[in-house]
Amino acid sequence: MKVTVDQELCISCGLCISICEEVFHWNDDDKAEAITSDVPEELERDVEEALESCPTDAIKQV
Ligand code: SF4
């Protein structure tokens, strides 16, 4: 599983980072960004929660 954050849609609410800071982090534009590698299996459930919780549907599974 891999995810990306659509920079146009992210409103910097911080929810995904609070749910799974191992995968999501702030970038220099103060938007959320995901790790580019595969999500470790043990974090997939958290990432799915973040994906479903994002208020603007900015997190996409790729
Ligand atoms: S939950 Fe969505 S809108 Fe909020 S910081 Fe993460 S990607 Fe951006």
| Beta carbons of 33 and 43 less than 8 angstroms apart | no
The first and second tokens of residue 29, run together, are 């534009």
Ligand 1 pocket, mutate which of 12, 26, 57 (most atoms under 8 A from CB): 12
In order, the DSSP letters of 37-50 are SPPPGGGHHHHHHH
Ligand 1 pocket, mutate which of 3, 4, 9, 13 (most atoms under 8 A from CB): 13
Q: What is the pLDDT of residue 18?
A: 98
- Residue 4's nearest CA partner among 30, 27, 33 is 33
- Residue 3's nearest CA partner among 29, 30, 42, 33 is 33
Domains along the chain? 3-61 (3.30.70.20)
Nearest CA residue ID for atom 4, ligand 1: 13
What confidence tens digit (pLDDT) does each residue in 1-55 have?
999 999 999 999 999 999 999 999 999 999 999 999 999 999 999 999 999 999 9
pTM of the model: 0.96
Separation of alpha carbons 42 and 23, rounded Å: 11
Cα 40 to middle of ligand 1, angstroms: 20
Q: What is the pLDDT of residue 58?
A: 98
